[in-house]
Amino acid sequence: MNLVAKEYCASSIEENSVLILSEFAGAAAQLRRGALLVNPYDIEGVAEAIRIAFAMGDDERRARMRRLRRSVRRSDVFWWVDSFLAAAFATRVDRLPHDTRPLSILESDYTDHGFVSGDIESEATPFMEGLVGRRPAANALN
């Protein structure tokens, strides 16, 4: 994830700017439809992107930035949490081969010290299910 690029889009409220972004940036996958993607090691390619951005018409520039801002607004922190929890629910840890199970060493450490009873999945599931799709109260965001 590249938060600087997303912050740039979020703060471009006039929608009169162009995002030139490295194709290697974490945000490139999400922002590719509105940004001008460049290989930062390709000097001529970067120069060409700057030329395109400079010559870009007002309508295209605003349309691209609107698209970027919409993408950033849609994929906020709550969307990322929901995606993470959905992926966590989709992975059944008990069905993975023992040598690939995540936290296999820590699991016994937690149970030995009384942090959890030993059935981590059944204890975490109600907590995690309570988080999926939840949003803070409207006044918490002010």
Give residue 34's pLDDT.
Answer: 95
Q: Which structure tokens are listed for 93? A: 């840890």
Whole-prediction pTM value?
Answer: 0.60
pLDDT surpassing 60 at residue 117: no
What mean pLDDT do residues 36-59 have? 97
DSSP E strands in the chain: the ranges are 20-22, 36-38
Mean pLDDT of 42-68: 97
Per-residue model confidence (pLDDT) at position 3: 83
Give residue 21's Cα distance to chain centre.
16
Per DSSP, the three-state class of 113 is coil
E strand residue ranges, 17-64:
20-22, 36-38
Q: What percent of the residues of the chain are helix, what percent strand, and what percent coil, each to the nearest 5? A: 60, 5, 35
The two tokens of residue 131 are 């988080």
- 34 within 8 A of 65, measured Cβ to Cβ: yes
pLDDT of amino acid 141: 46
Q: 82-102: per-residue pLDDT in tens?
A: 888 877 777 665 565 555 545
Q: What whole-number distance in Å separates Cα of residue 89 and Cα of residue 70? A: 28
The confidence score (pLDDT) of residue 81 equals 83
Residue 87, pLDDT score: 79
Per-residue confidence (pLDDT) for residue 93, from 0 to 100? 58
Query: At a CB cut-off of 8 Å and minimum separation 6, what does 98 contact?
Result: 104
Instruction: Say how many residues make up the chain.
Output: 142
Q: How far is CA 1 from the centre of its chain?
A: 6
* Domains of the chain (ranges, CATH numbers): 3-74 (3.40.50.2000), 77-135 (no CATH)
Q: What pLDDT sits at residue 84? A: 82
pLDDT (0 to 100) of residue 57: 97
* 23 vs 91: which has the higher pLDDT: 23
Confidence category of residue 142, pLDDT binned at 50, 70, 90 = very low
